[in-house]
Structures are given as C-alpha cells and as structure tokens.
Amino acid sequence: MKKNKSKFSVRCAEFRDAAQIFALIRMYPEELLQRSIGDIVQNIDRFLLCEIEGTVAGVVSWQILPEIGIPTKPSVEIKSLAVMEKYRGIGVGKALVLKAMEHIKPLNPRQIIALTFTPAFFASLGFKETPKSELMHKIYAGCINCIKYDSPFTCPEQAMSFDLDGQS
C-alpha cells in the first residue's frame, strides 16, 4: 500500500466501535494489557480512534490515576495505543496521542504518563523517561493486576512522562 499521510482523521469512539477496538487491542498481546469488551464499553468515552478506508486503523485511550486523599500530582495514563501494522509509519499513532492529550489537558493534570516498549515513539512526542518508582499510583492502579510480571520493577516496559507543570 502506498503510504499516504493525509487520508485519515481521528474521532471519538462510539458504542458501535467497541468490537473493532477489542479486536485491535487483541492483535498486540505482548505490547498491550488486554481489555474486556465490558471494560471498553464502560470507558468508550475515553477512547479515540482513527479510521482509514472504513477500518479502525488505530486506537488510543486514557485513564485517570487515583491517589489517596487530595491529589498532589494528578496524573493521567495513555493506554491501549495500537495502530495496525499496515497503517504504521504515516503519523496515525502520533495523531491519536496528540488528540488524546488535547482531551486530557483541560483536566489540568501535572503529568501524562505511559508505560511502553516503544519509548522512542513517545520521546518523539516530548515524553521523557521517568523512574517507575515515581509512578506508584500507576503501579497501584494497573501493575498490581498484571498477569505477565510479578513486579513493575522487573517488567521491561519503560515509564515515560509528559510534564504539564506550568502549562495550564
């Protein structure tokens, strides 16, 4: 397929998209935490997708990371980011993450984070490597239920953070 940078748009997901989102996330079991169809439907308002030629070519979502008490460092995690192989390298992933950040920023978080096997992708968007020890709320929210690794500190995913301090 000739790669064409202009032929895609990012839009909010709708209930009708849930099955295709489920299938797309299922394609990448090594890179992505799997999500049930119920989880996807219940959080459909936190999914964006990219449609190309009538197909869901890419998807992204986000999750607010809770803290006990009044949040001192409100954080939002970018998750479930996937682009089908045949549509990679034309800016779909970048467009999805930038649009997700547009949705997240009005919440005025202190940081947007991601745990990823492709840190260079996030670095190209301005994310910086960050120690997992600084993301303990992520560990409580997600890693504690991980079925692949018994500790986030032995998991090979790299933590990345986009600092929003002073940008509100």
Q: Which residues bind ligand COA (CB under 6 A)?
A: 28, 31-32, 81-83, 88-94, 114, 116-118, 120-121, 124
Cα-atom radius of gyration of the chain, to the nearest Å? 16
Residue number with CB closer to ligand COA (88 or 110): 88
Residue number with CB closer to ligand COA (44 or 98): 98
Residue 41 CB, shortest distance to ligand COA, in Å, is: 21
Residue number with CB closer to ligand COA (124 or 168): 124
Residue number with CB closer to ligand COA (30 or 70): 30
**What are 38's two structure tokens?**
């119920």
Residue 68 CB, shortest distance to ligand COA, in Å, is: 26
- For ligand COA, the nearest residue by Cβ is 93
